[in-house]
Amino acid sequence: MKNVAPTLSAKSYLPLKPAFLLSTFYMLLVLACVSSVATPVPTLLPTLTSFPDPIIFTIGSCDELAPGAQIPLAVTGVPGSGIVYTWSASAGVFSPPVGMNVLYTAPSAGGDVIITVVAEKGGQTSDAMITCTVIAPAPLPTDTPPPATLAPTLPAIPTATKWTCTSYRPQKPIEKGNIPGEVKIDKPAQGAMDIPARASVQAAGTSTGIPEGKYLWLFVYSQKADRYYPQTMDALTGWQPDPTTGQDGGWLINISFGAPQECFEVIVMVAELSASQSIADQLEAWAAVNTYSGYKLNGPSSANPPESPGFPDGIVEKASVEVWAK
């Protein structure tokens, strides 16, 4: 008996082929129908990422506000609800400071004022800004009083001090003899600045311990001329002063000063008879030619005008004061 491999006969295969094909077709048809239907995609609503800028409206002009003036302010331009509006300004105040409608009060000082409003909702903000000008009122005119009548102002008197005169006088005191006693000058006072120039001025003082028969002479020293000018009591009655009596007492004599705006020294000297006579003779010689040259320190013992002699022997300086002639 032969072994024959099993085979599928045509008879048994053919009946299966149409059914298989038909089932395959239905499956493909179902798949095609399923694939032809689009899968729905959810549509997202747009979200608000930022506010539009608000708009500030003023009820009335904001360009020229008077100090302390009030003006209503309102804001629009941001849609929706639940929005907080906060107001601020570089000067002035709001009532209330929060809200869509506020009342702004201008400051008292003039100038530009920056007003800002900030809209806020859920952490998002937007702002707007305007500038208002506060005009300060012009100051009221004041009555100007008539100018007061001022007393005439005298020219300032240059300051004269002790060192001014001292620096010009080459030697203090002058001693060409030995005469005891003391002399004090009461008038004019040391440092006086109201001495009239080219006028008679009274000089006075006291003396103590001066021996009898001496002569008290006053000299005026000029710093500019560097000369010592002897003064006389009365040239008509004699060139010499009266001799001392040996008693303590006061003395008085009128003296004069030369040019104004100059420092002078008033010097009291006591002289022996010979020295006093020499000074008197010199004064008489000057008067004869109307030239008073004055004495010069360390000058010659005698000199004819207009030369200046030196001091004679037998004369001693006792006191001095420095003054300013105006």
Mean pLDDT over each residue of the chain, to the nearest integer: 80
State whether 183 and 110 are in the same domain. no
The residues near 73 (Cβ < 8 Å, ≥ 6 apart) are: 56, 57, 58, 59, 87, 94, 101, 102, 103, 104, 115, 117
- Provide the pLDDT for residue 290: 86
Average pLDDT over residues 277-292: 90
Where helices occur in the chain by DSSP H, the ranges are: 10-13, 16-35, 162-166, 273-289
Q: Assess if residue 156 is contained within a domain.
A: no
Which residue, 198, 196, 189, is CA-closest to 325?
A: 196
CB-based contact 317:188 (threshold 8 Å): no
* Mean pLDDT across 209-236: 89
Within a domain: 40: no
Sign of CA dihedral 255, 261, 262, 266: positive
What order do you get walking across the sheet with 84-89 strand by strand?
84-89, 111-121, 124-134
Confidence of residue 238 (pLDDT cuts 50, 70, 90): confident
The answer to whether residue 16 sits within a structural domain is no
Whether the predicted pLDDT of 229 surpasses 60? yes
Same domain, 95 and 181: no
In a domain, 287, yes or no: yes
Question: Domain range holding 263?
Answer: 162-325
What's the pLDDT band for 88 if we cut at 50, 70, 90?
A: very high
171 is written with which tokens?
Answer: 């030697």
Q: Is 309 found in the same domain as 169?
A: yes
Helix, coil or strand: residue 283: helix
Of residues 242 and 149, more confidence is placed in 242
φ, ψ (nearest 5 deg) of residue 53: -65, 135
Query: Rounded to 10 degrees, what is the CA torsion of 44, 50, 53, 54?
Result: 80
**Residue 41 resides in a domain:** no
Overall number of domains in the chain:
2
Among candidate residues 77, 72, 75, 68, the one with its CA nearest the CA of residue 60: 72
Residues 236 and 295 in one domain: yes
Considering 69-73, 171-175, 183-187, the range whose residues carry the highest mean pLDDT is 183-187
Q: Is the pLDDT of residue 7 over 50?
A: no
**More confident: 109 or 170:** 109
- Asked if residue 105 has pLDDT above 60, the reply is yes
Per-residue pLDDT tens over the stretch 143-175: 666 666 666 776 666 554 444 566 567 788 999
Strands 55-58 and 70-76: antiparallel
With respect to residue 106, please indicate whether it lies within any of the assigned structural domains: yes
For residue 26, pLDDT over 60 is answered with no
pLDDT at 27: 54
Residue range 83-111: average pLDDT?
91
Binned at pLDDT 50, 70 and 90, residue 216 comes out as very high
Residue 68 amino acid letter: G
pLDDT at 6 over 50: no
Give 249 or 57, the one with higher predicted confidence: 249
Whether 45 has a pLDDT exceeding 60, the answer reads no
Task: Tell whether 189 and 257 lie within a shared domain.
Answer: yes
What CA–CA distance (Å, rounded) separates 164 from 161?
A: 5
Confidence band, pLDDT 50/70/90 cuts, at residue 203: very high
Do residues 73 and 62 touch, judged by C-beta distance below 8 A?
no
Q: How far apart are alpha carbons 144 and 146 in whole angstroms?
A: 6
Task: Please check whether residue 72 lies inside any domain of the structure.
Answer: yes
What is the pLDDT averaged over residues 308-321?
A: 95
| Predicted local distance difference test score (pLDDT) of residue 15 | 47
Asked whether residue 209 falls in the same domain as residue 311, the answer is: yes
pLDDT mean over 131-150 = 75
- How large is the greatest C-alpha to C-alpha distance in the chain, in angstroms? 210
Task: Tally helices (H) and strands (E) across the chain.
Answer: 4, 15
CATH number for position 266: 2.60.40
Asked if residues 257 and 198 have their Cβ atoms less than 8 Å apart, the reply is yes
pLDDT, residue 3, reads 43
More confident residue, 40 or 50: 50
- For the cut 60, the answer to whether the pLDDT of residue 44 exceeds it is no
Q: Is residue 74 in some structural domain?
A: yes
Task: Report, as an integer, the average pLDDT of 279-283.
Answer: 92
The Cα 291–Cα 303 span in angstroms is: 13
